């Protein structure tokens, strides 16, 4: 693994995969500032001015950043595309890496271990679940989970964890999502410290879109 020159990075993390714009700035091994603005629409217009204000208020600039960290979903289709597109554009211009972090990683942060099944809220009383062993995320009915979800020493974390765990006689931790942007920043910092290489972040979609196409074009995701 290649070690970074700066082992105390400045990382700007943000996420729009759910009805909010959330961001956090990590520097000197601590969260310097964080902000979450609830909104069901308008994230595309709101995100960049919000990030600019946060950087200015913290005495930083785009040029002082070592990395961008971005939430890649699952969540709202358009919201995920907004944040991932913004991250790709920023790192292309700044010449720094972008670190994609999934909501499964956020929910399982500090709780995930071998045998953990992470559960996130899905549409219409469903759940998105993924095992800690790099399993493929799927959408399930929490009250009627597929039998092949069974894991050795199974422990279910997150949304409706109790209902899912009961079907497998598993332990559970029915917790809420931790602060999203701050957790994305900490996960990105850990991966930076470990000297990982970073692929271009890609949206994580668990299900196909079931809504009518928007009247305006979505942001373009570069290959």
* Distance of alpha carbon 34 from alpha carbon 28, whole angstroms: 15
Average pLDDT over residues 147-172: 95
pLDDT value of residue 111: 80
List pLDDT tens digits, range 25-84.
999 999 999 999 999 999 999 999 999 999 999 999 999 999 999 999 999 999 999 999
Cβ atoms of 47 and 16 within 8 Å: the answer is: yes
Residue 18 to residue 63: CA distance in whole angstroms: 28
DSSP conformation class of 63: G
* Over residues 190-214, mean pLDDT: 80
Nearest-angstrom CA–CA distance, 82 and 72: 10
pLDDT of residue 193: 92
pLDDT band of residue 1 (cuts 50, 70, 90) is: very low
Helices 77-94 and 43-57 cross at an angle (nearest 10°) of: 50
Closest C-alpha to 102, from 158, 28, 50: 158
Which of the four CATH numbers 3.40.50.410, 3.40.50.2300, 2.40.110.20, 3.30.420.40 does domain 11-103+179-193 have? 3.30.420.40
0.75 exceeded by pTM: yes
Confidence category of residue 160, pLDDT binned at 50, 70, 90: very high
> Do residues 82 and 14 make contact, with C-beta atoms less than 8 angstroms apart?
no
The radius of gyration of the chain from alpha carbons, rounded to an integer in Å, stands at 18
Measured in degrees and rounded to the nearest 5, phi and psi for residue 128 equal -95, 125
| pLDDT tens figures, 107-130 | 999 887 789 999 999 999 999 999
Q: How far apart are CA 69 and CA 122, in angstroms?
A: 23
d(C-alpha 90, C-alpha 41), whole Å: 22
DSSP-derived secondary structure letter, 199: P
Q: Are strands 11-15 and 67-71 parallel, antiparallel or unpaired?
A: parallel
At 2 the pLDDT is 39
Q: Outline which parts of the chain fall under CATH 3.30.420.40.
A: 11-103+179-193
């Amino acid at each position: 693994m290649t070690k970074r020159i700066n082992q105390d990075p400045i990382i700007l993390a943000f996420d729009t995969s759910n009805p909010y714009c959330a961001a956090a700035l990590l520097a000197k091994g601590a969260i310097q500032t964080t902000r979450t603005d609830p909104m069901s629409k308008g994230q595309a217009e709101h995100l960049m001015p919000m990030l600019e204000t946060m950087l200015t208020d913290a005495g930083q600039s785009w040029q002082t950043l070592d990395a961008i960290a971005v939430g890649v979903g699952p969540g709202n289709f358009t919201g995920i595309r907004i944040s991932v597109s913004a991250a790709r554009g920023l790192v292309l211009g700044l010449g720094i890496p972008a670190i994609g972090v999934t909501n499964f990683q956020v929910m399982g942060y500090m709780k995930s271990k071998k045998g953990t099944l992470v559960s996130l809220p899905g549409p219409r009383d469903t759940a998105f679940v993924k095992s800690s062993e790099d399993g493929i995320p799927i959408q399930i009915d929490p009250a009627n989970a597929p039998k092949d979800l069974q894991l050795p020493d199974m422990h279910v974390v997150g949304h409706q964890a109790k209902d899912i765990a009961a079907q497998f006689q598993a332990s559970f931790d029915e917790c809420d999502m931790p602060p999203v942007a701050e957790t994305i920043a900490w996960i990105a910092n850990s991966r930076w410290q470990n000297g990982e290489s970073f692929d271009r972040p890609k949206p994580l979609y668990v299900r196909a879109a079931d809504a009518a196409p928007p009247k305006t074009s979505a942001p373009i995701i570069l290959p």
